[in-house]
Structure 1
Amino acid sequence: MHDFVVVGCGPAGSRFARRASEAGYDVLAFEQGTVGEPLACSGHVSTDVWEYAPDGARADLLQNEVSGARFHLGDADSRAHRFHKDEVISNVIDRVGLDRALAAAARDAGADLREDHTVLDVAEHRDHVTVEVRGPDGTETHRARMVAGCDGPKSRVRRALDLPEPDELLHGVLGFTDERDAGDFVDVHLTVPRFFAWRIPRGEAGVEYGLAMPPGHDVRARFEDFTDGYGVETDRRCSGLIPIGPPKRVTGRRSFLVGDAAAQTKPFTGGGILYGMTAADHAAREIDPTDPATLGDYERAWRDDLREEIRLGHLVRAGYSFPEPIQRAGMRAFEGEIGVHMDRPTTLFSREQLRALVPSLR
């Protein structure tokens, strides 16, 4: 019997599989198709991502470096508000390559990671779980002490075990062009209902355009209008769901959720790579597969780490729906040099941000 079965090998699942294997546990992991495919997530990440990636990954995956953002409100001809640092804030990366590098690191650590295996059902029992899987050789049933649901917004593990759903699911669309752009600013457009659209320069790899909104809107039509405003036509389009708002419980009797399955994402951007891998590390440290009581330790650990970031992230997102005059006043008050971290809204109250706002303190 395995210690853990991991369902889903995106960043959160592969990170947990790696860390649990390094801790000496027997880990079996399943990915429905090929790791990293189909692409359904932006490749704009904070520089902290390299702390979680294997050695040498940055040289292989980096596409561009970003030091600021232009925020656009209302009319396309109106002045953009610029926010920047005198250093690199974030990186644009090969997103598919990141998933594959993290999966390779999990395998190198000893995890048995199998692609082209679709999980059909999961069941909890008194002292183990069973996971029914369809692979290239037919249907199999595996036993483990615990199961980790790292299988995204529409998590089969979450639904099979009747764990609570995220507060909200946004619908996102991505598209790409081949135009070369090594600019160091991303563009953010607060011109769609309750979220935003974006343009990200990816150096020699082209440009990424994206948009996300709550259900009930014609997301694809909005995306067409957005890219038309730039005078471009995208190809290689993809779409996906973005979970916002973790449920009150992400653990069962012998199960736990990590990453998008647990809605461990930033409410103000929808990004979940760093939060998901952060939670994966907490799970690997706290959970003993022979002791279900340690699932509560995982719940406490990841929430203690990310609770304030997520709470403040909701407040930042609320500003996207403020009337435009209020948005402009706020933008004018803060634009220019900043000291915030793109994954940590609590840094709005940091010494670095205070020094950025008050030049005499530098």
Structure 2
Amino acid sequence: MNQQVVIAGAGPVGLWLAAELRLAGITVTVLEPRPERDPNSKALTVHPRTVELLASRGLEQPFLEEGLHIPSGHFAVLDSRLDFGLLETDFPFTLALLQSRTEELFEIQARAAGADIRRGHRVTGLTETPDSVTVHIEGPDGPYDEEALYVAGCDGTRSTVRTSAGIPYPGEDFTVLGFLGDVVLDEPPPGVAFSRTGIDGIVMIVQLPGGLHRVVGGVPADVRTDWPGDLTLEELRANVRQVTGTDFGMHSPAWLSRYGNTSRQAERYVKGRVVLAGDAAHQHMPAGGVGLNVGVQDATNLGWKLAATIQGRAPAGLLDTYHDERHPVGADLLEHTSAQTALISAFTTDGQRLRSLFTKLVDEQPSLNRTLAERLSGLHVAYDAPTADAHPLTGRRAPNLTFTDGGDTVFALLRTGRHVLLDLFGPRDDRGTPLATAEDGPLIGPLVTRTGTLTREHTPWAYVTAALIRPDGHVAWATEEDDPEKLAAVTREALDRAGLTGADR
């Protein structure tokens, strides 16, 4: 068996998962049917939570340098913008960056980590046994097989891996279409982003590199259940004129496409030796540009759990928690993109009144603005705590906690892909030994420890004396215990539960 994991699909999700697995020392092969990277970029938007994950792996700088910083977002293209400045993050903005460039940066990361990426190799089926899975592949030189411990389907909405594994993908077919064109505009609207909505339709225009603009939107004729054929430049021009009164001097299309609001979700993200992530697990209307981001967040949750399972250091049932945690996130994704679709396609007088009402509510209610911004950005995601008496921070994402001594922040500590144990109790004199090196048993799992005092801006953490942060940046455990002996004991118990000690699991 040459590889521990085979990944189908070298899009952003598959490449990020490959890098995550290699960070943990897992051998990985990525199979991609396209011989070259797709130059057409379906996704443009990198949301704040994804930038945090990039920073947690030391990959944020090229994104920050090359991406266009946009300090606000939209819900259903309402006139009221969502203010990302309200968010508690080091990155209160979205980045506009072509998906092709995101894939390129992810591929560089994965290859540098040692992933075997094969282009022009298409997965055709699977054969699973209790101990392994054989992936059937059509390569440039003919068919061949690759045996692995697990296969990850990151191969899109038409996933061969999902179909071969017999995982149902229920949902609803499209009822609304949208149009997309990457074109040259001789007379573009001012600013980096433009939108116009009304009873005649909706149009959004965003600047792209290389002198192009992306034009997306929909018109009343797009509320339909039949496929009208490929989008033409003439149709795109007519649609934009219908909504805005001009076509902005549109010509020279680099890409023309349609998209729809088909909504589906895999019933299981984990089945035997098959796991799913990204579009293979959930399909939805691309409202708000969240798809790539949720897929990358899927892969970050999955990577460390799959690695620990393969390496025999996972607590019982750890891999199943990938489904338990991320399936509800996917369901929430379908719900809010479907709700946005209903508002976007409300091309009636009553529909426009509904949009006007929502616009006023977002303007008048800062708490609603913030809530929608948190949902769009991915910062709201919190996983269920394992017990009712768990600390309130358990399951929530850890922000980039900073320390009074000015040393490494939490995001910097997470770059190894290991659990991070925060020892926030204070001087060690009262305890004798650090929490992570107590003499009652060796540590066997990958762990980074940090002793220090947090700076004051981290209010929810004010009384926390110790915390364990997972490799995906979510809090596994936290305590406010201030008795030194009890603190050492409960910390050891938390490390035992996480599979980071020699205790029986």
Q: Report the TM range for the smaller structure's normalisation.
A: 0.7 to 0.9
SS of the counterpart of 1:20?
helix
Deviations 1:199-229 (A, max 9, x none): 2233664310124767425373764533344
Greater RCO, CA 8 A, separation 6+: 1
Whether the 8 Å contact between 2:181 and 2:215 is mirrored in structure 1 is: yes
Whether the 8 Å contact between 2:178 and 2:258 is mirrored in structure 1 is: yes
SS of the counterpart of 2:353?
helix
In the other structure, the counterpart of 2:127 is 123
In the other structure, the counterpart of 2:226 is 216
- Give how far 1:84 is off: 5.2
Are 2:160 and 1:132 equivalent residues in the alignment?
Answer: no
Normalised by the length of structure 1, the TM-score is 0.78
Are 2:377 and 1:343 equivalent residues in the alignment?
Answer: yes
Are 2:301 and 1:285 equivalent residues in the alignment?
Answer: no
In the other structure, the counterpart of 1:24 is 25
Q: Distance in 1 between matches of 2:84 and 2:50?
A: 20
- Give how far 1:183 is off: 2.0
Residue 173 and residue 315 in structure 1: after superposition, are their counterparts in 2 closer, same or farther (change >3 A)?
Answer: closer
- Give how far 1:105 is off: 0.8
Are 2:242 and 1:226 equivalent residues in the alignment?
Answer: no
Q: Distance in 2 between matches of 1:72 and 1:19?
A: 33
SS of the counterpart of 2:257?
strand
SS of the counterpart of 2:295?
helix
AA partner of residue 6 (structure 1): I
Whether the 8 Å contact between 2:50 and 2:296 is mirrored in structure 1 is: no
Residue 110 and residue 59 in structure 1: after superposition, are their counterparts in 2 closer, same or farther (change >3 A)?
Answer: same
Whether the 8 Å contact between 1:199 and 1:210 is mirrored in structure 2 is: yes
Out of 240, 246, 251, the position equivalent to 2:265 is: 246
SS of the counterpart of 2:320?
helix
- Give how far 1:10 is off: 0.9
Whether the 8 Å contact between 1:123 and 1:129 is mirrored in structure 2 is: yes
Whether the 8 Å contact between 1:268 and 1:316 is mirrored in structure 2 is: yes
In the other structure, the counterpart of 2:159 is 155
Out of 253, 262, 274, the position equivalent to 1:235 is: 253
Q: Distance in 2 between matches of 1:190 and 1:10?
A: 35
Aligned residues: 338
Give 5+ residue unaligned stretches, structure 1: 74-79, 348-362
Whether the 8 Å contact between 1:265 and 1:276 is mirrored in structure 2 is: no
Out of 262, 270, 273, the position equivalent to 2:292 is: 273
Residue 157 and residue 84 in structure 1: after superposition, are their counterparts in 2 closer, same or farther (change >3 A)?
Answer: closer
- Give how far 1:289 is off: 3.8
When Rg is computed on C-alpha atoms for both structures, the one with the higher figure is: 2
User: More deviation in 156-165 or 275-284?
Assistant: 156-165
Q: Distance in 2 between matches of 1:296 and 1:86?
A: 33
Whether the 8 Å contact between 2:153 and 2:162 is mirrored in structure 1 is: yes
Out of 322, 326, 333, the position equivalent to 1:298 is: 322
Normalised by the length of structure 2, the TM-score is 0.58
Residue 315 and residue 94 in structure 1: after superposition, are their counterparts in 2 closer, same or farther (change >3 A)?
Answer: closer
Q: Distance in 1 between matches of 2:363 and 2:209?
A: 25
Q: Distance in 2 between matches of 1:69 and 1:293?
A: 38
Whether the 8 Å contact between 1:188 and 1:197 is mirrored in structure 2 is: yes
Whether the 8 Å contact between 2:134 and 2:145 is mirrored in structure 1 is: yes
Residue 22 and residue 141 in structure 1: after superposition, are their counterparts in 2 closer, same or farther (change >3 A)?
Answer: same
SS of the counterpart of 2:299?
helix
Give 5+ residue unaligned stretches, structure 2: 86-91, 382-505
Give the CA RMSD over aligned residues.
Answer: 3.6
Are 2:279 and 1:260 equivalent residues in the alignment?
Answer: yes
SS of the counterpart of 2:4?
strand
- Give how far 1:158 is off: 1.3
Whether the 8 Å contact between 2:199 and 2:352 is mirrored in structure 1 is: no
Out of 180, 205, 223, the position equivalent to 1:174 is: 180
User: More deviation in 90-99 or 301-310?
Assistant: 301-310
